[in-house]
Amino acid sequence: MKIKVDHHSDIPVYKQIVVAIKDMILANELIEGEALPSVRKLAINLGVNPNTIAKVFFILQSEGYVDSKPGIGYYVAKPPPSSIEKRLMDLDDAMRRIILKMKRFALSEEEINKRFSAIMEGVFENERNRS
């Protein structure tokens, strides 16, 4: 499992890992039923303490992203139907912040729109070229 952890961020490490695993599940990179590595293995892999991973699994389970079976360990569950929408709202919020930042430089609505469209076009163009 590849997750980049920033120990020196103001966001606690457990939160960074929770978001990364949720995103992998929502993006179907981790498939329902797939076994997750053990607490110990993931702790060693990511270079974090076992307590941190235990907390991550606890949160993921309480929110319905993973489940556990005795003797098997944690595996990917089917996340609640609203979870993608929730995650998109987080990203919307991130977008909102960027727009507010742009507004500080006295950009008009039209100018901001233009910039967004240009970036969107670039991203989708790249994707088309790749496929």
| 100 Cα distance to chain centroid | 23
- Distances in Å between the Cα of 83 and the Cα atoms of 14, 48, 58 are 19, 26, 17
Q: How far is the CB of 5 from other proteins (least distance, A)?
A: 9
* 3-state SS class at 117: helix
User: Which 8-state DSSP code applies to residue 79?
Assistant: -
* Residue from 18, 43, 56, 60 in contact with other proteins (CB under 8 A): 43
User: Which 8-state DSSP code applies to residue 37?
Assistant: P
> If binding is defined by CB under 8 A, does position 50 make contact with other proteins?
yes
> If binding is defined by CB under 8 A, does position 47 make contact with other proteins?
yes
The window from 23-31, 50-58, 96-104, 107-115 that contacts other proteins (CB under 8 A) reads: 50-58
> If binding is defined by CB under 8 A, does position 40 make contact with other proteins?
yes
Dihedral sign of CA atoms 51, 54, 60, 62 in order: negative
> If binding is defined by CB under 8 A, does position 12 make contact with other proteins?
yes
> Rounded to whole angstroms, how far apart are CA atoms 91 and 19?
12
Q: How far is the CB of 54 from other proteins (least distance, A)?
A: 10
Closest to other proteins by CB, 9 or 113:
9
Chain positions contacting other proteins, by CB under 8 A: 7-15, 40, 43-44, 47-52, 55
